[in-house]
Structure 1
Amino acid sequence: MIKEFKEFAFKGNVIDLAVGVIIGAAFGAIISSAVDDVITPLILTPVMEASGVANLEQLAWNGVKYGNFISAIIKFILIAIVLFFLIKGANKLNKKEEAAPAGPSNEEVLLTEIRDILKNK
């Protein structure tokens, strides 16, 4: 059982997944900070001032706190855009040049010559 667990845990896919989760969590923290500390004060301040609210979480309408929802939407859009460009760039780097079709092998050339000779007889 321990041997099977070692084989599972140390496969490349599991380790790659763990690294992806860790990087994703760090990336999520960066996006959260960007939205909370940069975008919200710059873009949403006029909206918050007009509604008499000090921070985004306090935005509410009839008891529905839509401020957190707006913040989550902005975070999602930013993460989706950045991931799109990262994946697009990674695909460009990993894209292998399409191999030109190989010419006939020596064996095929020889067989073609034999066929042609037999046709001419």
Structure 2
Amino acid sequence: MAFFKEFKEFALKGNVMDMAVGVIIGGAFGKIVSSLVDDILMPPIGALLGNTDFSRLRIDISRVRDVTSSAVHSVGSLVSKGGGDAAAQTAAAEPIYWNYGAFIQQCVDFTILALCVFLIVKLMNKLIRKRAAVPVPEPAPTKEELLLREIRDLLKERK
């Protein structure tokens, strides 16, 4: 029961709402950064490198599978005669690609997103330091404080 009580306190404090707002804004911010990378930054970089799109960079690694499957097929045919040729031919017909370009694209997205978040946090820290550096004037004393001061002063005079 203590777990549910603690969760209830957490949910009612407003932390959940703050977190939800952060997640929603973070999702939208991520889309903006992805668009910045995909639509603004990557086309000129791709043009400089002679390729239009990083995400399409890939290596065909079907040969590795074909060599492996032919070796397995050779060993399998020695052990037992029959079947398996159709399965090996079907597997050999489908190409296998190593999509390293998509990985590069995601790394660029992450780097730019991390840079943007760093700049925002740095700006917020600068604003917080600036706010802390400004001296806050002391608030005017309340009526009770004034009355207590008068009483204190009267007691000092009596001694």
- TM-score class, shorter-chain normalisation, is 0.5 to 0.7
Deviations 1:54-100 (A, max 9, x none): 5332101243211111111111111111111111111121222398x
In structure 2, stretches of 5+ residues that fail to align are 61-96, 136-159
1:1-121 correspondence to structure 2 within 5 Å: 7-49=9-51, 54-62=52-60, 63-95=97-129, 96-97=132-133
Residues 55, 104 of structure 2: 8 Å contact kept: no
**Structure 1 residue runs of 4+, over 3 Å off?**
3-8
Deviation at 1:48, TM superposition (A): 4.5
Identity of aligned residues (%): 44
Deviation at 1:19, TM superposition (A): 0.9
TM normalised by structure 2 equals 0.51
- Give the superposed CA RMSD: 2.4
C-alpha distance 48-60 of structure 1, shift in aligned 2 (>3 A): farther
Deviation at 1:28, TM superposition (A): 0.4
Residues 60, 66 of structure 1: 8 Å contact kept: yes
Larger of the two Rg values belongs to structure: 2
The structure, 1 or 2, with the larger RCO (C-alpha pairs under 8 Å, 6+ apart) is 2
TM normalised by structure 1 equals 0.65
Q: Residue type of the partner of 2:102?
A: N
Count of paired positions: 94
Residues 42, 54 of structure 2: 8 Å contact kept: yes
